[in-house]
Amino acid sequence: MSSVKLVAPLSGSIVALRDVPDPVFSGLMMGDGLAINPTSSTLTAPCGGVISQVARTGHALTLTADNGAEVLMHVGIDSVSLGGKGFNVRVRQGQRVAQGAALIDVDFASIKGKIPSLTTIVVIANSDDYELSGKASSSVTVGQSAFLTVTSR
């Protein structure tokens, strides 16, 4: 069994996925995980790994952890509709990153009110292959707070 401990990719308050105002995420269709109501503006790597996918509009990316877990991070609800405005992606597909590396700078002030929610979702896209434990439950600090433990089944 291979485990990866994720740290918070943003500061903010934890939101259970079932409470996210998007049926795709709240219904766990993209995988299991957590969400954050952000208070910091740079999404950082919750663990070391390789950037396996970056959305064309910069609102989401997937980081494949060393144990194979696909950590999908999606900033905001319906944020694809912004067409990239408010997002500055600092990594590229295929790039190896260390835990804490800056991934996306988000101008939350400029996108607030233009999308239904700033809630940022962090799910394990291939969560059927992993057990999730140690879920954070209150507020978290970027790069410091334990967020989630992902263990291969």
Is the CA virtual torsion 46, 35, 83, 109 positive or negative? Answer: negative
Give the whole-angstrom CA distance, residue 10 versus residue 36: 7
Q: Which residue has the tokens 């439950």?
A: 137
Tell me which amino acid residue 142 is: V
Nearest residue to 130 (alpha-carbon basis) of 70, 53, 72, 45: 70
Give the whole-angstrom CA distance, residue 14 versus residue 151: 21
Let me know how long the chain is: 153
From the candidates 11, 69, 74, 123, which is the catalytic residue? 74
Query: How many Cβ atoms from other residues are within 10 Å of residue 113's Cβ?
Result: 8
Is 74 annotated as catalytic?
Answer: yes
- Pairing of the two strands 102-106 and 42-44: antiparallel
Would you please indicate which residues are annotated as catalytic (active-site) residues?
A: 74
